[in-house]
Structures are given as C-alpha cells and as structure tokens.
Amino acid sequence: MNTIYTDKQKALDRLIESRLPDKRRRHSLGVARMAVDLARHYGLDEGKADFAGRYHDIAKAFTVEESDELVRKYGLPDKLLGNRSIAHSKVGAALLEHEFGVTDPDILAGVANHTTGRAGMSLFEEIIFVADAVDETRDYHDVQYYRDLAFEDIDRACLEIMDFNIEHVKSRGKVLDEDTLSAREYIIEKIRSRKT
C-alpha cells in the first residue's frame, strides 16, 4: 500500500518525534492501523486512512499558548482559544493544510473532526473518529464491543461512541461542544433514514 503525500511525511514524522510522547505516538500508529482496517472493510482509500490516522494528533502536545497562537494565525473559531482538547484537531488540520501542503478534503476533514464529529460527517470522517476511540492502545471498559461494532455498523459505532464521550464529558463537569451534539443528531437521523 502506497501512502499519499510521501514527500511530506518525513517532515511530519520529525514533528511527531519531537513533540509527541511515546504513548501518543503509539496511539497515532494504532489509529492509522485501525483506520486502514476500517477503510478496507468499507471500501475507502487505505492510504488516505493511514495518513489521517497517523497524523490526526500532530497538534495534541502543543501548549495552550502555542495552540491559541495557531488558532489566531489560521482564523479558527474563538471557542477553541484556551481549549486544547478540542482545538488540537482543528489546529492539526490547519497545520497539515497550511504548513505541509495537504489539500485532500477527506484527510483535512477527518483530522479536523476526529474529536467532536460534525453534522454531515462523511464515512471517511466517521472512520477516523471511530478509529481514534477504539485503536489497539485503548483499554477502557467495553472498548472491544465498540471495535466489533465498528465493523458491523460504523454509524451505530459512531453514535454509541459519541454517547460514551458525552457521558464522560458531563461526568467531569465540562461543557459539551455543540459540534458533538449536532453530529449526534446527524448520525441518529442517518440511522433512522436507513430504516425507512
């Protein structure tokens, strides 16, 4: 399998090596493997899935100050300021586009929305979202259930992982991102429409 953007990968790999801790690098490789498996299963481009999975967290280890600087530089929404947990996906996509010349809309959307999802998510975006939640480095309760479900019904897996994430965020007293709520509604409607 040939990976796209191979000319950019050395620079991206250097960034990851210098910025991400070992655990996060292992997670990124695990997400890439899971994304490839899911892409193969659902008939999508495995090279794009590998690339998006491998580099989805390139901005994860940035400080709040670094993240906020990039949010401003790329004109990203103000709601991302001071919110690294949500901002890293949008900042990562902006870095891929503006600093590394990635133009593929699937890759950019997959990276940008792997944390929150969004209304109108494509199958590719769902694959990256789910792969991030169920890769081989994840060991939370019921993760194997979600892994299996991902190969049976990606929409249902996406919905149930969103529900899991929503409960987790609420239990920590944090504010839910509206993109997750609209993504959830979109997936519910998508599942409903399949039944009619």
Buried b (16+ CB within 10 A) or exposed e, 32-67: bbbbbbbbeeeebbbbbbbbbbbbbbbbbbbeeeeb
Whose tokens are 């801790």? That residue is: 21
What is the per-residue pLDDT for 110? 98
pLDDT tens per residue, range 49-79:
999 999 999 999 999 999 999 999 999 999 9
What is the per-residue pLDDT for 7? 67
Separation between Cα atoms, residue 52 and residue 38, nearest integer Å: 13
pLDDT tens per residue, range 129-186:
999 999 999 998 899 999 999 999 999 999 999 999 999 888 988 878 999 999 999 9
What is the per-residue pLDDT for 196? 66
Separation between Cα atoms, residue 118 and residue 108, nearest integer Å: 13
For residue 7, what are its two tokens? 């000319």
For residue 98, what are its two tokens? 């503006």
- Give domain status of residue 191, yes or no: yes
- Give domain status of residue 3, yes or no: no
Say which CATH number the domain at 106 has.
Answer: 1.10.3210.10
Could you give the angle at the alpha carbon of 42 between the alpha carbons of 177 and 25, nearest 5°?
55
CA distances for 72 relative to 75, 107, 143, 165, angstroms: 5, 22, 36, 27
Contacts by residues 173-180 (CB-CB < 8 Å, ≥ 24 positions apart): 177/79, 177/86, 177/116, 179/113, 179/116, 179/117, 179/118, 179/119, 180/116, 180/117
pLDDT tens per residue, range 98-123:
999 999 999 999 999 999 999 999 99
Separation between Cα atoms, residue 126 and residue 191, nearest integer Å: 13
Q: Is the pTM of this model over 0.85?
A: yes
What is the per-residue pLDDT for 15? 87
Separation between Cα atoms, residue 170 and residue 166, nearest integer Å: 6
3-class state of residue 48 by DSSP = helix
pLDDT tens per residue, range 16-25:
888 898 999 9
- Give domain status of residue 1, yes or no: no
For residue 120, what are its two tokens? 């109108």
For residue 27, what are its two tokens? 């997670």
What is the per-residue pLDDT for 33? 98
- Give domain status of residue 56, yes or no: yes
pLDDT tens per residue, range 35-48:
999 999 999 999 99
| Residue-range definition of the domain harbouring residue 74 | 8-195
What's the number of domains the chain is made of? 1
Residue type, 159: L
pLDDT above 60: residue 187: yes
Mean pLDDT over 29-33 rounds to: 97
- Give domain status of residue 51, yes or no: yes
